[in-house]
């Protein structure tokens, strides 16, 4: 396929990785986004940004795990501030059967007793008698990672245009459409899935890695963002409501965080927010080639956007350069 100029639409995690990868491959790339201020309203800003392919294998298809391992490698190659401290999964005493089940459904983990947990996360040793430690996993602080990718795009020569939607003149280029639910008119099988999060700050507890608390009704994850900040998130909710978080949802989220560690009860609340992410029926992100190759829709991030965005970018770049196929690319 002959190289042509590329227009990437949408400056979330998917679009940023697409623009950066294509620019570094030698394509002329323009990145457009309708928001005037970069990264302020993207669904990506609500992400926990856990690079956890083996943990995700508990509920995700095997190809998410397999390509997630590749995504983790690509993040480490590009972003210098990946935190390579692994992940922990815990459960209170009454939910220990859930931890046993989780262990059976996943791999690449070590079962820690209380002493082992104390060595890894001392602040949890008095709270939990055991944990699953996924030592090879990692995470990033969402706002810093997004800002880094945006700057990397600019450094790679990407032509950035914020406050600009796709225009008719862009049809003269190959369009890589990464606009999430903004592209639903071309992707009828796309749906929205709500995610809720709480950003808090406390110096009374110190975690070095993401912690997932298993719970039959209120599972949650806590991701350290540095500077005593923690992102507390819930599992995805099958709803397209993009409105503010309800009092009940906030109380459930804060209550689950308190269960993980009582020190969170005295934390400052910096932000309560909710967002709607795009997802395909199987919850696997993919690229879909349309219009004879003139448009490529890269969408369906679900909760795997950060993990698989670099893999999708490589798949699209390889397709544009050589026509190469990929299991996450439909054409």
Q: What is the pLDDT of residue 323?
A: 95
How far apart, in whole angstroms, are the C-alpha atoms of residue 143 and residue 113?
Answer: 34
Closest CA to 319 of 309, 307, 331: 331
Interval 96-113: pLDDT, tens: 999 999 999 999 999 999
Q: What is the pLDDT of residue 235?
A: 63
Query: Per the confidence metrics, is the pTM higher than 0.85?
Result: yes
Handedness of CA 241, 243, 244, 247 (dihedral sign): negative
The share of the chain scoring above pLDDT 90, in percent, equals: 86
Mean per-residue pLDDT, 302-327: 97
Interval 136-177: pLDDT, tens: 999 999 999 999 999 999 999 999 999 999 999 999 999 999
Mean per-residue pLDDT, 76-96: 97
Interval 21-79: pLDDT, tens: 999 999 999 999 999 998 887 888 888 999 999 999 999 999 999 999 999 999 999 99
Rounded mean pLDDT of the chain? 94
How far apart, in whole angstroms, are the C-alpha atoms of residue 112 and residue 155?
Answer: 44
CA end-to-end span of the chain: 14
Q: What is the pLDDT of residue 238?
A: 87
Interval 192-234: pLDDT, tens: 999 899 999 999 999 999 999 998 888 999 999 999 999 999 7
E strands, 163-306, are 174-177, 191-201, 211-214, 220-226, 229-234, 268-279, 286-290, 295-299
Q: Which of 14-23, 245-254, 279-288 has the lowest mean pLDDT?
A: 245-254
Helices (H), the chain: 13-24, 53-56, 62-78, 96-105, 114-120, 142-155, 247-260, 305-322
Q: Which residue has the tokens 């999708």?
A: 312
How far apart, in whole angstroms, are the C-alpha atoms of residue 286 and residue 301?
Answer: 8
Q: What is the pLDDT of residue 2?
A: 44
Per the structure block, which two tokens stand in for 212? 């997932």
């Amino acid at each position: 396929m002959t190289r042509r100029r590329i227009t990437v639409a949408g400056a979330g995690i998917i679009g940023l990785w697409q623009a950066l990868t294509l620019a570094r491959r030698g394509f002329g790339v323009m990145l457009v986004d309708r928001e005037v201020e970069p990264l302020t309203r993207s669904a990506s800003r609500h992400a926990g940004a856990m690079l956890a392919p083996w943990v995700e294998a508990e509920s995700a298809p095997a190809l998410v795990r397999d390509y997630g391992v590749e995504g983790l490698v690509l993040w480490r190659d590009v972003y210098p501030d990946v935190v390579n401290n692994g992940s922990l999964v815990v459960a209170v005493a009454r939910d220990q059967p859930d931890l046993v089940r989780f262990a059976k459904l996943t791999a690449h983990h070590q079962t820690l007793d209380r002493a082992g947990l104390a060595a890894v996360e001392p602040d949890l040793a008095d709270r939990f008698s055991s944990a699953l430690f996924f030592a090879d996993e990692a995470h990033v602080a969402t706002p810093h990672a997004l800002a880094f990718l945006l700057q990397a795009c600019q450094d790679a020569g990407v032509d950035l245009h914020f406050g600009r939607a796709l225009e008719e003149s862009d049809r003269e280029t190959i369009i890589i459409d990464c606009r999430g639910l903004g592209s639903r008119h071309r992707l009828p099988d796309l749906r929205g899935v709500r995610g809720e999060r709480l950003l808090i700050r406390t110096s009374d507890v110190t975690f070095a890695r993401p912690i997932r608390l298993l719970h039959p009704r209120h599972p949650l994850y806590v991701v350290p963002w540095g500077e005593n900040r923690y992102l507390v998130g819930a599992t995805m909710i099958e709803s397209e409501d993009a409105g503010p978080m309800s009092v009940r949802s906030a109380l459930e989220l804060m209550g689950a965080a308190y269960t993980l560690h009582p020190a969170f009860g005295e934390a400052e609340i910096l932000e309560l927010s909710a967002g709607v992410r795009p997802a395909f029926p199987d919850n696997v992100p993919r690229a879909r080639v349309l219009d004879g190759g003139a448009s490529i829709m890269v969408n369906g991030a679900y909760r795997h956007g950060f993990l698989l965005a670099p893999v999708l970018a490589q798949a699209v770049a390889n397709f544009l350069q050589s026509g190469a196929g990929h299991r996450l690319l439909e054409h």
